[in-house]
Copies of this chain bind each other. A is one copy, B any other.
């Protein structure tokens, strides 16, 4: 029946849209990896950059809380 084909087509189109977006995400992840490789090639520490990016993505007060918590834990073990 035509209605079934139509429904199947709509579902197929939806799935294909999802696949395209997943591909985009994968592609973007590769671009990010390339950027960090470029950072490394220019003498920067990629791991440290990632760390700072993560810190900056936090809200200010969240970051301050995190810093304080880590200080407490480090003090507890003396390092």
Contacts and interface: CB of A to CB of B under 8 A. Distances in A.
Binding site secondary structure of chain A: helix
A49 B73 contact: yes
Nearest to A8: B76
A21 B31 contact: yes
Nearest to A24: B28
Interface string A65-79: 010011011111101
Contact of A51 (B25, B39, B69): B69
Interface of A: 8, 10-12, 14-19, 21-22, 24-25, 28-29, 31-32, 35-36, 39, 42, 44-45, 48-53, 55-57, 63, 66, 69-70, 72-77, 79
